[in-house]
A = this chain, B = another copy of it.
Amino acid sequence: MEKPRELRVLPVDGVGEVRAGDRLDVVVNRALEACGIALRESDVLVVTSKIVSKAEGRVVAVDEADPEARTRLVLEQATTVLRRRDSLLITETSHGFVCANAGVDWSNTEPGTAVLLPENPDRSARGLRDRLAARFGLGTLGVVITDTVGRPWRRGLVDIAIGSAGFAPLLDLVGTEDGTGRELHVTEIALADEIAASAEIVCGKAWRRPVAVVRGIDITGEGSARELVRPPRDDLFR
């Protein structure tokens, strides 16, 4: 990977409301055109999982009068409950992600509904990547699908990559030397998570900006966000 010269994160406005059955590549392409952004070699398109889920019809009805309905839905979506406090459940999802409430989301959706995580965010990312790469005639294009999560030990939420395509989401530094010529002990950087976090800064939570373009990284390789999941056996905080 080449030393980046400058990183730019371009917000993509005008995506509008996404509905079940919408083709996300068409929606994104229309918004890019309206913003005057043409995707380039080595760009990374960042999309919130919310609109991926909506396009894929992952919206379900929830009886808001029933105080237990939300909890039941979360437990349906979770494979494991790691911790529980009051109505907050820290869970593992079928994708292997650990997050609050199995990623079920009640914000930015019609009252009486909830948005589930995409069934297979890596597959969704690959589909979007392939269609947009073809449309823009690109050999190298990254796609990251994000979700917003809390973290142990730290206040405040950040975005992470739950789906990715078109590049290696973990930057492997094995064999790289530090400034003093010694091999770096640090071996892997969670590049796709850092991309997700940088896009969140311009996308925000209240700005209806579910898409951004991150430009200036010399992305390489292939891989999926599944690789970012730490195998439970290696995890000291289960």
Residues of A bordering B, CB below 8 Å: 3-11, 17, 83, 85, 90, 97-98, 106-111, 148, 151-160, 169-171, 173, 176-180, 182, 184-186, 188-191, 193-195, 197-198, 200-202, 204-209, 216-217, 227-230, 235-237
Contacts and interface: CB of A to CB of B under 8 A. Distances in A.
A173 B230 contact: no
A152 to B, nearest CB: 4
A216 B208 CA distance: 18
Contact of A170 (B17, B97, B156): B156
A173 B205 contact: yes
Nearest to A5: B11
A188 B153 contact: no
A159 B118 CA distance: 27
A128 to B, nearest CB: 21
Contacts of A180: 107-111
A8 B8 contact: yes
B198 A107 contact: no
Contacts of A200: 189, 194
B202 A156 contact: no
A7 B9 contact: yes
Contacts of A7: 7-9, 198, 201-202
Considering residues A173, A177, A208, A236, which has the most beta carbons from chain B within 10 angstroms of its beta carbon? Answer: A236
Contacts of A185: 106-107
